[in-house]
Amino acid sequence: MLTHRNTCILFAVLIAALVVLNINYKIHWLWFVPVIVLFLSIEFYGAYFVHSGFHIKTICKADTTDKLVALTFDDGPMPERTNSILNLLSKFNVKATFFCIGSRIKGNESILKQIHEQGHLIGNHSYSHSNLFDLKNTSHMLSDLQEGSKEIKRVIGKEPLFFRPPYGVTTPGLARAVKKLGFHTIGWNVRSLDTSIKDKQQLVERVTKRIQPGSVLLFHDTVDNLEFALEEILNYLNKNGYRVIELNKLIQKEAYA
Closest approach, Cβ 119 to Zn ion, in A, equals 23
Q: How many secondary structure helices (H) and strands (E) does the chain include? A: 9, 9
Number of chain positions touching Zn ion (CB under 5 A): 2
For residue 22, the tally of other CB atoms under 10 A from its CB is: 14
Closest approach, Cβ 164 to Zn ion, in A, equals 7
Bridge partners of 185, per DSSP, are 58, 163
Residue of 120, 125, 184, 220 marked catalytic: 220
Phi, psi at 158, each rounded to 5°: -130, 145
Question: Strand runs (DSSP E) across the chain, as ranges?
Answer: 58-59, 68-74, 96-100, 121-124, 162-163, 184-186, 190-191, 216-220, 243-244
d(CA 141, CA 158): 21
Residue of 55, 74, 125, 194 marked catalytic: 74
By CB under 5 A, name the one of 47, 69, 75, 190 that touches Zn ion. 75
Closest approach, Cβ 75 to Zn ion, in A, equals 4
Complex with Zn ion: residue 43 or 75, whichever CB lies closer: 75
Does 144 contact Zn ion by CB under 5 A?
no
> Which residues are CB-contacts of 140 (< 8 A; sequence separation ≥ 6)?
none
By CB under 5 A, name the one of 74, 144, 194, 221 that touches Zn ion. 74
Residue in the shown chain whose Cβ atom is closest to Zn ion: 74
d(CA 231, CA 225): 11
Say whether 194 is catalytic.
Answer: no
Q: Of the listed pieces 27-35, 68-76, 80-88, 169-177, which binds Zn ion according to CB under 5 A? A: 68-76
Complex with Zn ion: residue 1 or 132, whichever CB lies closer: 132
Q: How far is CA 25 from CA 10, 11, 29, 162, in A?
A: 22, 20, 11, 53
Say whether 140 is catalytic.
Answer: no
Q: What angle do CA 181, 7, 35 make, to 5 degrees?
A: 140
Closest approach, Cβ 103 to Zn ion, in A, equals 12
Closest approach, Cβ 2 to Zn ion, in A, equals 25
Q: Of the listed pieces 73-81, 89-97, 139-147, 175-183, which binds Zn ion according to CB under 5 A? A: 73-81
Binding site for Zn ion (CB under 5 A): 74-75
The catalytic residue positions are 74, 220
